[in-house]
Amino acid sequence: KLPASARSTSSSSVLSSSLSLRQGSRNPLPVAAVRLLLLNTTTPSEPQLIGGYLLFLGVMPLPATPAYGAVHLPRHTGVSMDTSAEAIFVGPSPPVTADIEESLSDYTSMMEGWTKEHVLAARGLRNKVAPIRVEAMRLGIAADSAGITCFLDAFDECMKRVDLHLVTQKNSFQEFLGSPLQQTVPDTCAIVSSTKCVEVQHRREYETMHGTGSFPCNAAAPRKLRRACFCQKVWKPKEGARVGDVIDMIQRLGGARTTSAPAPAPYMLPVRSWQRHRWDVGGGLTADRIAELLDTRGPFIGTIWVCPWYDLFNSVEDEDLVYRSGCARSKMLQRLSKFCFGKDLVGLHSVLCFEYRICDGQLHIHILDNHETTGPQRWIHHSELEEVHTITVERINHLGDRHIRYPHSGVS
């Protein structure tokens, strides 16, 4: 419900337009209003009237209803985030001229066709990113970002190919990855990436001692883990789960389950301990710290913020492109990205980080995604990591003639 002061300040038509805009209109915001929104850090007691536009600044506790534009959880995320009470209000946009209306119509048609098949599952790019896709995406970002240049700047930066001759240092655990583990149920990236990380850490420990290719195990599709997380309310459909809670559940279940591989493959891969590292806690996640974690602890689970152009990146085809979101580690910009692009196209996502390189003084992180049977793998800038979870495991003794219990075939 709007404050009484707001009702007295503006006409009923302005208020009606304000609500209809948040319910579905894609018209761009006035730049002056957006700039003021970005600069404001507190919630004022009165709404602001700027050039005829009614603007409520800051975050306001409001019912989580579409009419009030509440910021809902992204439907594809694997990390839950309690933001259902946050909302941003903006008044009506300027009239749309005929030529702008035509451009927006073309863009809307393009985006509608794209989003129908898009559940944030990366579509395989058989070739390098096509220029027409890049330009279409750029026009779409410009139309949707309402004059907020950080998103367009981030995309343009993404499309600049780095010079791989300038790589001065790198470290990779690619040899321990095994086969990618794919999400088969939406919103389970935290569950899948945690399971995969346990498998990779066990393979790393075992093959370091017994040789490359000696580890006979692959993690099974985590259906039982997902059911356990659901029953204990660790994971919720359309919301996801927190990585730390998922790892706790893996420990409680005795480890990550493996496929029914031939002997002497073990049944479970146990977790000894885990640790959470956030960018805004303690020493943070600086470039040096992230590189140190990979050097000393091996592959870990990373949580990043993804935007619509995230799908364009695939290091198999474009090793010299590095993903940036333009709103990493900024809650305000992340809320704005939801407002601009829609909650189904942005949000937190969990992946496996297994390699880094230092190129022209910048730290890039190589990730294994869980959207397809191939991953895919992508390069991201280190500052995209909101938090990481490192895992330690007990090295399994040489399997030799060890007798192992196996799950029934097809049960996981």
Q: Are residues 173 and 79 in the same domain?
A: no
Bridge-based pairing of strands 256-257 and 53-56 is unpaired
Boundary residue ending a domain (31, 55, 90):
90
Report how far apart, in Å, the C-alpha atoms of 157 and of each of 176, 315, 323, 332 are. Answer: 31, 16, 9, 21
> Does residue 134 form part of some domain?
no
- What's 174's DSSP letter? G
Question: At 80, is the secondary structure helix, strand, or coil?
Answer: coil
The reported pLDDT for the residue numbered 42 is 38
301: left (phi over 0), alpha (psi -120 to 50) or beta: beta
Count of helix runs (H) and strand runs (E) in the chain: 11, 14
The answer to the question of residue 281 being in a domain is yes
Number of neighbours of residue 39 by Cβ within 10 angstroms: 8
Residue 106 lies in a domain: no
Is residue 287 within 8 A of residue 363, CB to CB? The reply is: yes
Contacts 24+ apart (CB under 8 A), 155-158: 155/309, 155/324, 155/326, 157/324, 158/309, 158/312, 158/313, 158/321, 158/322, 158/323, 158/324
> Does 407 fall in a domain?
no
Judgement on whether residues 225 and 327 belong to the same structural domain of the protein:
yes
- At residue 40, the pLDDT reads 43
Query: Does a structural domain hold residue 158?
Result: no
Local mean pLDDT, 10-residue blocks, the chain (412 residues): 37 30 36 41 38 36 27 34 30 38 42 37 46 84 77 89 96 96 94 97 92 89 94 93 96 90 74 95 91 97 96 93 93 91 92 98 97 95 97 77 37 35
Residue 218: beta bridge partners?
Answer: none
62 located within any domain: yes
Residues in the chain: 412
Residues 168, 80, single domain; the answer is no
- The rounded distance, in Å, linking the Cα atoms of 90 and 175 is 51
215 and 78, same structural domain? Answer: no
Residue after which a domain boundary falls, among 90, 119, 149? 90
Q: So what's the pLDDT on residue 275?
A: 96
| Boundaries of domain holding 210 | 164-392
Q: What is the pLDDT of residue 143?
A: 80
pLDDT at 217: 87
Q: What pLDDT shows up at residue 398? A: 60
Place of tokens 């730049």: 31
Cα separation, 151 vs 149, whole angstroms: 6
- 83's tokens: 């933001």
Please check whether residues 210 and 344 belong to one and the same domain.
Answer: yes
Number of domains in the chain: 2
Please give the pLDDT value at position 107: 39
pTM equals: 0.68
Question: Do 261 and 172 belong together in one domain?
Answer: yes
CATH of the domain at 367: 3.90.70.10
In a domain, 135, yes or no: no
Q: Looking at residue 266, what is its pLDDT?
A: 67
Is residue 155 in a domain?
A: no
Q: What sign does the dihedral 91-97-101-103 (CA atoms) show?
A: negative
Residues 251 and 341 in one domain: yes
Residue 265 pLDDT: 63
> Where among 90, 108, 124 does a domain terminate?
90
